[in-house]
């Protein structure tokens, strides 16, 4: 019935939770950028490939794809090291797609952490930030109803078709809705008051009482 432990959830808005697995995975997503100054001896870590021998420096102005956690660390207001651009799904073209109809977009394919990553992008000073924030918000609002309805009405069904196009945050919401529904149905059937072995104990491999001889 109750869970054995409480995982740390993802952070709110522009903050990240250090201990949250979702946030860690989310910040691994890459975003495009350029090196603003020469980065000596970093070609092996950030470089594009075998062209540069190890030990060479990254020339100024070359394009890079770096993960979010690194981008946040290297970004500063004087912008001497790196300048970041928006990934394409947060740009103007896709923003109009989202505002047209957000329900048809496959958010899982677009980077499974659309909302979290988008919120983190607001950390970088970018003149388009208000529009990005607005788009993310509106996308969530338009998709929310469908998630709520489908999670509350799919009982004992295969939900993979419903969940396939949702990003991670929406999937968590969906799972919560399913849990509420399953708990209610289980209560209605009277199974809630039956005692079952805890999932932790079942894995211990202790011999059951009936198996003991003598």
Partner 1 sequence: MDPAAGSGALWVGLRRRSANGEGGRGTRRVRVRCRRGPPGCRAPGTMEPAEAEFLAEKELVTIVPNFSLDRIHLIGGDLGPFNPGLPVEVPVWLAINLKQRQKCRLIPPEWMDVEKLEEIRDQERKEDTFTPMPSPYYMELTKLLLNYASDNIPKADEIRTLVKDTWDTRIAKLRLSADSFVKQQEAHAKVRWGRLERFASSVLGVFQMPCDCVGL
Which residues sit at the interface with partner 1, rule CB under 8 A? 1-3, 6-15, 17-20, 115, 119, 122, 125, 127, 129-130, 133-134, 136-137, 140-141, 144-145, 148-149, 152, 169, 172-173, 176-177, 179-181, 183-184, 186-188, 190, 192-193
Q: In the complex with partner 1, which residue's Cβ is closer, 65 or 149?
A: 149
Give the 3-state secondary structure of 104-138: HCCCCCCCCCHHHHHHHHCCCCCCCHHHHHHHHHH
* Rounded least distance, CB 86 to partner 1, Å: 15
Q: In the complex with partner 1, which residue's Cβ is closer, 65 or 125?
A: 125
Contact 135, 101 (CB under 8 A): no
Q: In the complex with partner 1, which residue's Cβ is closer, 57 or 146?
A: 146
Q: In the complex with partner 1, which residue's Cβ is closer, 44 or 187?
A: 187
Contact 35, 47 (CB under 8 A): no
* Rounded least distance, CB 214 to partner 1, Å: 37
C-alpha angle with apex 36: 31 to 42, nearest 5 degrees?
A: 75
Main-chain dihedrals φ then ψ at residue 31, nearest 5 degrees: -135, 155
Q: In the complex with partner 1, which residue's Cβ is closer, 43 or 170?
A: 170
* Rounded least distance, CB 109 to partner 1, Å: 21
Residue with tokens 């495009």: 32
* Rounded least distance, CB 50 to partner 1, Å: 41
Q: In the complex with partner 1, which residue's Cβ is closer, 49 or 190?
A: 190
Main-chain dihedrals φ then ψ at residue 30, nearest 5 degrees: -95, 150
* Rounded least distance, CB 122 to partner 1, Å: 7
* Rounded least distance, CB 148 to partner 1, Å: 6
> How many Å separate Cα 140 from the centre of its chain?
14
């Amino acid at each position: 019935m109750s869970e054995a432990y409480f995982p740390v959830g993802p952070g709110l808005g522009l903050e990240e939770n250090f201990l949250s697995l979702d946030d860690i995975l989310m910040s691994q997503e890459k975003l495009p950028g350029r090196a603003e100054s020469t980065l000596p001896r970093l070609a092996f870590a950030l470089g594009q490939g075998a062209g540069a021998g190890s030990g060479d420096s990254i020339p100024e102005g070359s394009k890079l794809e770096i993960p979010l956690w690194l981008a946040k660390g290297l970004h500063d207001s004087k912008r001497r090291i790196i300048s970041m651009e928006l990934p394409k799904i947060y740009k103007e073209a896709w923003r109009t797609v989202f505002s047209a109809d957000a329900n048809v977009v496959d958010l899982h394919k677009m980077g499974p952490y659309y909302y979290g990553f988008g919120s983190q992008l607001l950390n970088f000073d970018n003149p388009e930030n208000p529009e990005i924030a607005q788009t993310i918000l509106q996308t969530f609002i338009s998709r929310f109803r469908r998630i709520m309805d489908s999670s509350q009405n799919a009982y004992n069904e295969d939900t993979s078709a419903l969940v396939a196009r949702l990003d991670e945050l929406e999937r968590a919401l969906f799972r919560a809705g399913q849990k509420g529904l399953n708990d209610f149905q289980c209560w209605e059937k009277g199974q809630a008051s039956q005692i079952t072995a805890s999932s932790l104990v079942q894995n211990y491999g202790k011999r059951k009482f009936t198996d003991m001889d003598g």
